[in-house]
Chains A and B, each alone.
Chain A
Amino acid sequence: MKRIKKTGILMLAIVLLFAFSTSVLFAKGTQEKQKAAGKKEAAPAGKVVVNYWSRNGAPLGTVMGSMIKKFNTANPNIKVKMQIMTWGGEYYSKIRASIMVGKAPDIFDVSVYAPAMFLKYVESYTKEDLSQSGINISDYAGSAWNALKFDGKYYGIPIGIFPIGLYYNKDLFQKAGLDPAKAPTNQSQFIAYGKKLTKDTNGDGKIDQWGTMEVNWYNLVGWIWESFMVQNGGSLLNKDNTKAAFDSKAGIEALNLYVDFVRKYKISPAPGDVPAAFASGKVGMIIDFVHGLSGYKGKVNFGIKRMPSFYSKRPHMSWASMNIFLSPKGLRKDAGKWKATMTFIKWIMGTDFQKSFALGAGEMPSRLSAFDALKSDPLLGDIAETIASGQVFFPPSVVNATEIFSVMGDAMGQAFAGKGSADKILGQASKRVDQILARTK
């Protein structure tokens, strides 16, 4: 009898399992229900909760977090709940999964190339929408909004800009007999400075201090080369983003210059861990994102200036990314949430926030009025002027941007490894990019 009882218990467990499994298989209609449930839980005690997911860790995310606290105290009926998610590709998986099941946060931030991927799934804003919330596009760096414009509407809010700039080590400059107040401003200066900074400091016959250094294999996506190319009058894709355009004289020259830092001028070692190299004073000048600066504070005596004009057609142009807010489609239908979200966005886009966020975290504002305060900042001043004067450009926002970045990264790697001439490498890459672009139509 014992055995029958045992069998019975087991069977019962199994029945439960099958109930569970069938509920899964026949639960197609639950998505809508879940959406409704999601709304219900979002409004405790008369407060409107705005859920915000961020991909930014320290310093951007942490500085943002502490500023949001101020917003929440100033707006007692709104609670912005910020949640920092891991940096890296996994963040986008999480966003997509949450959109798939209708549980996306009310706001999530993405990078500059991402909006094109989310067009069908996020809210768009007309000029009227924005001006109703007190945002006038003319108050901002125009290029920022233009990058988000698809079919006459704006997909996303450009809350800040991350340009790349030139970091230089003032102490190493001084030791090399260079003026620590002045960074190189053109190609020949950059190379001359690089040569002075490249030396053997301990006299063992091996060079242990370098003029500059390229980011390593993993991050090699071609931003620096792209900046050279744009300065030289080229561009990554054609005007309507349907074909590769980098396989041009401008692109090839730019790639040759980039590789020549290592090969011809010998001012750069093999690609490596650039931030660690700069922080430990082994490299005199690096080109990197401006918001990385807080990591170097207290470790090296450094300055940041705008990208030198490696070519003169479009001087100082530098690649930039953006921090963009997106909201899932349908948020507009929930009037309370929409209003709270727009209030939050208005605050983020205001001069006060934009200015103090730049000073706190190193992200450049998109609001023009915030630049005036930054221009006198010893570290950020020159970069602020670059943006205010429109010397930044953004990568094209196309559906398969990440895949195109990979192709470009491979091309950069091939060039540095000496696997063919610049025109051959770029020609091959351009065919691959064309294939990717053709597939997404």
Chain B
Amino acid sequence: MSQKKWKIRNLHKFLLWIFITVISILFLLPVLWMILSSITPNNVVILYPPRWIPKHPTLINYIKVFTTTETTPVGRALINSVIVTFPSVVLTLLVSSLAAYPLARMKFKGKKFLLLLILMGLMIPLQVSFISLFLIFNAVGWLNTYQALILPAVISPFGVFLLRQFFISIPGELEDIAMIDGCSRFKILFVIILPLSVPALSSLAIFAFLGSWNSFLWPLIVMSDPNMMTVPVILSYYLYTLAGLREWGSIMAVAVVASIPTIIVFMAFQRYFVQGIATTGIKG
């Protein structure tokens, strides 16, 4: 490569770098504002003109959030959210992979129809089906239980459709070789297809995690026991306090607490979905 070409390429890369870095910072600003507000006392945070860095940073908002356990047991809610979210994610991945595999790789009668049927699931406004779901879970006596939050989250037409699209784009040769070697379909799915789909699975894991973690209306309707509330329900408590004045500092503190687990999970998974393909050895 000639010196000049190299320079142009580097300049090109540098401009792209500037561009994406500016975008990244713009994306982060509101989040930064949220975090800074959470360490600002409630009566300072509403002052105008707005101040980015508080003169006297404080943890008082966090202390308040964690100590008013009677109305809003944040600690308990965090535990509940974890209890609900992890099985939801694992089961979503399992059930969706099983369902997506034949839709992507096998020929059978009614495939098109089933695909459309599954897509139909995405078109139902959830808000109205909650009423029917509530009746179903009431009929089997599962109101106020964790499975009432887990089961609806596991059925993810989105996940099936996502995985199917990725399974289709995996080249078929590997599978054919395995087939000749006498591998069962089941084994092929778990030993060949799924490891190759790590990017898609990671994406789905993140979406399933967020969907479950942030879901608000359904937990609110199905849970009556304060000890079964999840984090978004607690969050909404702070948003809807009756008195006109919103305590932005406290709201932002809860928001930060509610977001930390999702940020951690994302950080953990984002590496996988980028490295996914590279580590499977299919690429040169």
Binding site for B on A (CB under 8 A): 2-3, 6, 20, 23-24, 27, 30, 34, 56-62, 65, 83-84, 86-88, 90, 93-94, 97-98, 100-101, 103, 274-276, 278-280, 282, 288-289, 291-296, 298-299
B244 near A280 with CB under 8 A, answer no
A279 near B245 with CB under 8 A, answer yes
Given A84-B237, A86-B220, A3 and B184 touching (CB < 8 A)?
yes
Given A24-B139, A30-B139, A65-B70, A59 and B131 touching (CB < 8 A)?
no
Closest A residue to B234 by beta carbon equals A86
Q: In angstroms, how far is the closest chain B Cβ from the Cβ of A93?
A: 6
B241-256, CB under 8 A of A: which get 1 and which 0?
1111111000000000
- Can you show 18 pairs from A to B with CB atoms below 8 A apart? A3-B186, A6-B186, A20-B140, A24-B136, A57-B71, A57-B242, A59-B242, A62-B70, A65-B71, A86-B236, A97-B134, A101-B134, A101-B138, A101-B143, A274-B244, A276-B46, A292-B242, A296-B245
Query: Which chain B positions have C-beta within 8 A of A84?
Result: 71, 226, 237
B110 within 8 A of A: no
Query: Which chain B positions have C-beta within 8 A of A62?
Result: 68, 70-71
B116 within 8 A of A: no
The CA-CA distance from A275 to B186 in the complex, in Å, is: 61
Q: A59-B243, A275-B244, A299-B43 are in contact. List 13 more A-B contacts (CB 8 A).
A: A24-B139, A30-B138, A57-B71, A57-B240, A58-B242, A62-B71, A90-B217, A93-B221, A101-B134, A103-B143, A275-B245, A280-B47, A295-B245
The CA-CA distance from A384 to B181 in the complex, in Å, is: 87
The CA-CA distance from A30 to B141 in the complex, in Å, is: 9
B233 within 8 A of A: yes
B224 within 8 A of A: yes
The CA-CA distance from A296 to B241 in the complex, in Å, is: 14
B242 near A279 with CB under 8 A, answer no
B243 near A294 with CB under 8 A, answer yes
Closest A residue to B223 by beta carbon equals A94
B120-152, CB under 8 A of A: which get 1 and which 0?
000000000001001110111101000000000
B48 within 8 A of A: yes
Query: Which chain B positions have C-beta within 8 A of A280?
Result: 46-48
B184, B221, B240: most-surrounded residue (chain A CB, <10 A): B240
Query: Which chain A positions have C-beta within 8 A of B233?
Result: 86
Query: Which chain B positions have C-beta within 8 A of A103?
Result: 138, 143, 224
Where chain B touches its partner, the secondary structure class is loop
Query: Which chain A positions have C-beta within 8 A of B224?
Result: 83, 94, 98, 103
Tell me which of B43, B134, B220, B244 contacts A90 (CB under 8 A).
Answer: B220
Query: Which chain B positions have C-beta within 8 A of A292?
Result: 242-245
Tell me which of B134, B140, B237 contacts A57 (CB under 8 A).
Answer: B237
Tell me which of A57, A83, A93 contacts B241 (CB under 8 A).
Answer: A57
B226 near A23 with CB under 8 A, answer no
Where chain A touches its partner, the secondary structure class is helix
A279 near B46 with CB under 8 A, answer yes
A101 near B135 with CB under 8 A, answer yes
Tell me which of B135, B236, B245 contacts A276 (CB under 8 A).
Answer: B245
* Tier of interface size on chain B: 20 to 34
The CA-CA distance from A165 to B257 in the complex, in Å, is: 36
Query: Which chain A positions have C-beta within 8 A of B220?
Result: 86, 90, 94
Query: Which chain B positions have C-beta within 8 A of A291?
Result: 242-243
B99-131, CB under 8 A of A: which get 1 and which 0?
000000000000000000000000000000001
B140, B242, B244: most-surrounded residue (chain A CB, <10 A): B242
Query: Which chain B positions have C-beta within 8 A of A57?
Result: 71, 237, 240-243
B43-83, CB under 8 A of A: which get 1 and which 0?
10011100000000000000000001011000000000000
Closest B residue to A10 by beta carbon equals B98
The CA-CA distance from A349 to B236 in the complex, in Å, is: 30
Query: Which chain B positions have C-beta within 8 A of A289?
Result: 244
Q: In angstroms, how far is the closest chain B Cβ from the Cβ of A11?
A: 14
Q: In angstroms, how far is the closest chain B Cβ from the Cβ of A100?
A: 8
The CA-CA distance from A329 to B152 in the complex, in Å, is: 32
The CA-CA distance from A280 to B50 in the complex, in Å, is: 11
B244 near A288 with CB under 8 A, answer yes
Closest B residue to A300 by beta carbon equals B43
A298 near B70 with CB under 8 A, answer no
Query: Which chain B positions have C-beta within 8 A of A27?
Result: 139-140
Query: Which chain A positions have C-beta within 8 A of B221?
Result: 90, 93-94, 97
Given A27-B139, A34-B138, A299-B43, A88 and B244 touching (CB < 8 A)?
no
Closest B residue to A102 by beta carbon equals B138
B135 near A56 with CB under 8 A, answer no
Query: Which chain B positions have C-beta within 8 A of A282?
Result: 48
B236 near A61 with CB under 8 A, answer no
Q: In angstroms, how far is the closest chain B Cβ from the Cβ of A402?
A: 16
The CA-CA distance from A354 to B219 in the complex, in Å, is: 34
Given A97-B131, A276-B46, A279-B43, A87 and B241 touching (CB < 8 A)?
yes
Q: In angstroms, how far is the closest chain A Cβ from the Cβ of B236?
A: 5
The CA-CA distance from A291 to B51 in the complex, in Å, is: 29
Closest B residue to A274 by beta carbon equals B244
A24 near B242 with CB under 8 A, answer no
The CA-CA distance from A276 to B249 in the complex, in Å, is: 13
The CA-CA distance from A192 to B236 in the complex, in Å, is: 40
The CA-CA distance from A274 to B220 in the complex, in Å, is: 29
Query: Which chain B positions have C-beta within 8 A of A90?
Result: 217, 220-221, 236
Query: Which chain B positions have C-beta within 8 A of A275?
Result: 243-246
Q: In angstroms, how far is the closest chain B Cβ from the Cβ of A288?
A: 6
The CA-CA distance from A294 to B243 in the complex, in Å, is: 7
A86 near B237 with CB under 8 A, answer yes
The CA-CA distance from A431 to B48 in the complex, in Å, is: 43
The CA-CA distance from A294 to B47 in the complex, in Å, is: 18
Task: State which residues 180-222 of B face A: CB under 8 Å.
Answer: 184, 186, 217, 220-221
Q: In angstroms, how far is the closest chain A Cβ from the Cβ of B186?
A: 7
Q: In angstroms, how far is the closest chain A Cβ from the Cβ of B67?
A: 13
Query: Which chain A positions have C-beta within 8 A of B217?
Result: 90
B48 near A295 with CB under 8 A, answer no
The CA-CA distance from A101 to B46 in the complex, in Å, is: 44
The CA-CA distance from A21 to B2 in the complex, in Å, is: 70
B226 near A83 with CB under 8 A, answer yes
A88 near B139 with CB under 8 A, answer no
Closest B residue to A208 by beta carbon equals B48
The CA-CA distance from A131 to B217 in the complex, in Å, is: 41
